[in-house]
Amino acid sequence: MKLDIISVDTPGNFKISLKNVSIYGLEKLEVTGVKANLTEHVVNMNFSVPSYTLLSKYEMDGRILVLSLKGEGESNITATDVTVEYELKYDLVDKKGEQFVKIADQHVHYEVSRAYFNFTNLFNGDKLLGDSTINLLNDEWKSINDELKEGIEETIKSVSATIVGGIFEKVPYRFAFL
């Protein structure tokens, strides 16, 4: 999957922008559960992915946990054993005599069993400081993930809205949930 940009801002004044993003591993995505309540207009889906790798150009600045991070360059973010719970609430809209699904709200929760980070050119290329920071990020991956979780879930919602919304714009409701 290719995305132009992913941006994550945390309440703690940390910003990271990933550009020209390529995501690998989603071809192994498995739908592990689907539950639909068509009367209430709610669909719940569970997904799992053994691993994904996100390659991009990055720019970051700010504090995460106790770390001050600054840099721009190439990034590689990999996560393993990813599970996602996705809830879609929808409305029905009429277009040309047909009913179509329109996304009203989404909720996302994800978990990973491990995450790995690599960023080139941290701290203007200071190799010693950059390498030790990368090691710390990878040692403290769980805390980093927890700190970024809200922003990552918002990103998943945005990507999901684009994909799911694009499908539902073209497929009438009577064919959407057979």
Bridge partners, residue 79, by sequence: 52, 115
pLDDT at 132: 92
pLDDT at 172: 93
pLDDT at 33: 96
CA dihedral sign, ordered 88, 91, 94, 95: negative
Predicted TM-score (pTM) of this structure = 0.85
Spell 28-53 as b/e; 16+ CB within 10 A means b. eeeeeeeeeeeeeebbebebebebbe
* Domain total of the chain: 1
Phi/psi region, residue 93 (left: phi>0; alpha: psi -120 to 50; beta: rest), is beta
pLDDT at 178: 66
Residue 76: how many other CB atoms lie within 10 Å: 14
pLDDT at 141: 95
In the DSSP assignment, the letter for residue 166 is: H
Residue span of the structural domain in which 24 resides = 2-176
Low-confidence ranges of the chain (pLDDT < 70): 12, 178
DSSP-derived 3-state class of residue 89:
strand
Beta strands 14-24 and 42-64 are: antiparallel
C-alpha closest to that of 133 among 148, 122, 144: 122
Question: What one-letter code names the amino acid at 144?
Answer: I
